[in-house]
Amino acid sequence: MKIGIPAETRSGETRVAATPETIKKYIAAKHEVVVQSGAGIAASIPDEAYLAVGATIGSAEQALGSELVLKVRAPDSAERALMKSGSVLVGMLNPFDADNTAALAAAGISAFALEAAPRITRAQSLDVLSSQANIAGYKAVMMAANTYGRFMPMLMTAAGTVKAARVLIMGVGVAGLQAIATAKRLGAVIEASDVRPPVKEQVESLGAKFIDVPFITDEEKEIAQGVGGYARPMPADWMRRQAELVHERAKQADIIITTALIPGRKAPILISEETVKAMKPGSVIVDMAVEQGGNCPLSESGKTVTKYGVHIIGEPNLATLVPADASALYARNILDFLKLIINKDAGLEINREDEIVAATLICSGGEVLRK
């Protein structure tokens, strides 16, 4: 089968959907691979590295006109126009973007949005949200440390002692756990909060303190369990009690990293303007939910702003700032996903009985399958 790897065109996108490592495997499995010239440049993969493993280097038309197109982000209308009806597209296509799904369906493309894969053990190796959130959690701490005007670790020097930075992590999914681990390696003192009860043990196992917001009603307890590993919006009263506790902890914090997301919804507000006002001058907030509206109302997408003396970093796509490793992990996720839709004879075989295939296939044969 002919597999195309186009260059990403979205502003700020640095990743690429296949690396020489994964292309070598596609070629060994008797596929032909065409990579758009320059597709890997931002991820430090020159065309020669693709040529060396047997890919051909071609134009956007050739890559997008392939039977199977591997992308990072959803194609825009110009890219879609270069794709063939009946072709298959795999990428992070945003399954909640109904207009995009409708446009792909109208173009006769069978599209797989990998973010929609269920959180089951078998899907772990193809879980793009996890691979990218892990990188983003790491980078959030790096950016915070860079902006923070003090040391992260406690230091005893001849010129006196420096206190360790206090880091508060809001939302402990994949990104939050990596942020805790990374801040810990840098010597910070860490506290964390989440709605889901199993998180407490994970936080403590990484050497951080869990901020417990007790559940008062059975309804709160039930909602906090989430669905399929994801959080659900918590009742207003629980959110108010959480905000009070967070306000107190934020006053002591030097760095806050917020990662709280509810799939398909606006992110919950966790750090209010009042809380920012109460924070120490020079402290730093990294709002990792900025693309979904933000966990702090003062954060601005794509900018670092200083409000009430607090630096608020609103970088919308942190994984793109670690392009080589983000591409390497993403490309492996795709390689693993393709095992589900390509048979031994290197042909496409879309088995909709498979739970992962069914969940990720957003449109096929002109029909929208996920609304």
Interface positions with ligand NAD (CB under 6 A): 119-121, 123-124, 127, 129-130, 133, 170-176, 193-196, 229-231, 234, 259-263, 268, 270
Q: Virtual CA dihedral for 53, 59, 65, 67, nearest 10 degrees?
A: 0
Least distance from C-beta 262 to ligand NAD, angstroms? 6
Helices 128-147 & 174-185, crossing angle to 10 degrees?
40
User: Is the CB of 4 or the CB of 176 nearer to ligand NAD?
Assistant: 176
Which has the closest alpha carbon to 12: 263, 256, 326? 326
Residue 17 vs 243, nearer CB to ligand NAD: 243
Smallest gap from Cβ 319 to ligand NAD, in A, equals 12
- DSSP for residue 134: H
* Residue 189: CB minimum distance to ligand NAD, A: 20
CA–chain centroid gap for 114, Å, is 12
Binning the chain into helix, strand and coil, the percentages to the nearest 5 are 40, 20, 40
Shortest Å distance, C-beta 255 to ligand NAD: 17
For ligand NAD, the closer of residues 121 and 157 by Cβ is 121
- In the complex, what is the shortest distance from the CB of residue 263 to ligand NAD, in angstroms, rounded to a whole number? 6
Task: Render the burial of 90-113: b for 16+ CB within 10 Å, e for the rest.
Answer: bbbbbbbeeebbebbbebebbbbb
Alpha-helical (H) ranges within 186-322 are 199-205, 218-224, 236-252, 273-278
Instruction: Name which of 66 and 202 has its Cβ closer to ligand NAD.
Output: 202
CA 339 to chain centre: 22
Residue 175 beta carbon to ligand NAD: minimum distance, rounded to whole angstroms: 6
Q: Exposed (0-12), middle (13-18) or buried (19+): which is 158, by Cβ within 10 Å?
A: exposed
d(CA 55, CA 117): 28
Measuring CA to CA, which residue among 129, 137, 132, 165 is closest to residue 257? 137
DSSP class of residue 123 equals: G
Find the radius of gyration of the CA atoms of the chain. 22
What separation in angstroms does the CA of 21 have from each of 44, 55, 138, 329? 14, 11, 24, 11
Q: Given the complex with ligand NAD, which of 105 and 289 has the nearer CB atom? A: 289
State the DSSP H helix or E strand holding residue 51, giving kind and residue range, or none if neither: helix 47-52
CA separation for the pair 56, 19 (Å, rounded) = 13
C-beta closer to ligand NAD: residue 51 or 227: 227
Which residue number, 39 or 116, has a Cβ lying nearer to ligand NAD? 116
Catalytic residues: 119, 124, 127, 130, 230
Closest separation between CB of residue 111 and ligand NAD, Å? 22
Spatial separation of the C-alpha atoms in residues 143 and 257, rounded to whole Å: 10
